[in-house]
Amino acid sequence: MEEGIKVDIAILGGGPAGYVAAIEAAHLGASVALVEEREIGGTCLNRGCIPTKALLRTTEISNLIQKSKEFSIDSVLKNINWNLAGIRKNRVVKNLRMGLEHLMKKNNVQIINGKGRIISSTEVVVETDDNNIYIKCKKLIITTGSKPLVPEIFDVKFDNVLTSDEALELEEIPSNIVIIGAGAIGLEFATMFNYAGSRVNVIEAMENVLPLEDKEITNELIKIMKRQGIKFKLSTKVKQIRKNNDVLEVVIDENNTEKIIQTEMILVAVGRKLNSISRDIVELGIKVDKGKIVVNEHMETNIEGVYAAGDVIGGKLLAHIAFAEGKCAVRNALGINCKVNYSAVPSCVYTNPEVASVGMNEESANEKGIDISVGRFNFRNNGRALCLGEREGFVKVIVDKNTNIILGAQILGANASEMISELTLAVSLGVKAELIADMIHPHPTLSEAIMEACGDAVGKAIHK
């Protein structure tokens, strides 16, 4: 049996780009069909951002209990019931997914569960469990996302060699774990497993962690994480993963010397790859470059009326970029001019302390030949940070020396992810550093460190 529906906008993929595009289209008065093969919310909600942060919160609480003597509290952490932590994580995800499903219903978005296949720029067929559903649309938006990258050398069929997807479903914490990759995913899991009681080894082929972040920030972060008990092997290549009886072995090349690390579990966290470009996309003639769908500044492909957004177009694979791209794609599809401002995209890593950044860092500004001044302020000189027992880290702002306009900023410290939005607004609007330095900030707060760093950049810092 076959069914057919007609809509203004058809969207393939129900992750951050897709569901935001669907709601935005509905707000603009369009009829919408959203096709999703798995759960609404995509990787971020179901297998990424949200479940990871829920489990990180469990380990943060355990760390606070272990630090309780600093606050004159005599307490002992007996253990973490990781199975119950997983149940809480699943409850958080379920609540958010139900809320998202309610929003879809409220906005009259038709959700079709099944595998979508493009027939033409205005036609999609969805294979569901019961039948095929044909969608006739005026505009089509592709938001099919990404998945964990597993290079061939790591693609072994051993138990306890996991991607981030499987690591989020563990019911017990391993006594020790090797994490391959020191990007955001690897470091967040390193923080989580370390606080949960695992002995953690992180292996990274590059010479530093978080290679896209400011080197001053990452150098300080790795010192802190080492003090927390996490071991690092940088500039180290993994040659092989093998099994010796019941023990997993990671064969590494460290300084041209072959070494073996034995471990109970391995997490492969070397990044993500875009979901494969399906045959229907190729047959439609959509331009693809190195696995990415190519779009213009309006998020439109080379095929008129077909748009793409989110991870499938490459760039930084961040949910909040996908939100913005999905919104822009649907606005352009409905005749409203929209462009994404990629110069002011915040990036956050939920280690302890957190890392957050936006705009240019010191290295990228110097590469562009911009004459800059750099403002810094340490959290050890911030009253609120001392009250919280969060002395580590600093705020750093990059300012154009000729205009005093804030070009970028980096934060290493507690709640950095919550603080970066003030600086994102500043970079987005081209705000001058003295404006932030003179703006009244509440006291005592961590955000005063932003005010002081901006003041330092223009010679106006009060507490430095």
Instruction: Determine which helix (DSSP H) or strand (DSSP E) holds 273, and give its type and residue range.
Output: strand 272-274
Query: Pick the catalytic residue: 27, 298, 320, 443?
Result: 443
Number of residues that make up the chain: 464
Is 45 annotated as contributing to ligand binding? Answer: no
Is 373 annotated as contributing to ligand binding? Answer: no
Query: β-strands 109-113, 132-142: how paired?
Result: unpaired
Is 414 annotated as contributing to ligand binding? Answer: no
Is 145 annotated as contributing to ligand binding? Answer: yes
Is 183 annotated as contributing to ligand binding? Answer: yes
- Could you tell me the sign of the dihedral formed by the alpha carbons of 355, 359, 362, 363, in that order? positive
Is 188 annotated as contributing to ligand binding? Answer: yes
Rounded distance, CA 404 to CA 422, Å?
17
Is 300 annotated as contributing to ligand binding? Answer: no
Is 459 annotated as contributing to ligand binding? Answer: no
What is the residue-wise DSSP string for 83-111? HHHHHHHHHHHHHHHHHHHHHHHHTTEEE
Rounded distance, CA 320 to CA 374, Å?
27
Is 184 annotated as contributing to ligand binding? Answer: yes
Please name which of 122, 89, 97 lies closest in space to residue 4, comparing C-alpha atoms: 122
Q: Contact at 8 Å (CB) between 350 and 191?
A: yes
Phi, psi at 114, each rounded to 5°: 165, 180
Is 157 annotated as contributing to ligand binding? Answer: no
Is 53 annotated as contributing to ligand binding? Answer: yes
Q: Contact at 8 Å (CB) between 380 and 463?
A: no
β-partners of residue 137 are 7
Is 41 annotated as contributing to ligand binding? Answer: no
- Residue 443 annotated to the active site: yes
Is 383 annotated as contributing to ligand binding? Answer: no
Residues carrying an active site annotation: 443
- Binding-site residues for NAD(+) sit at 181-188, 204, 271
- Binding-site residues sit at 53, 116, 144-146, 181-188, 204, 271, 311
- Binding-site residues for FAD sit at 53, 116, 144-146, 311
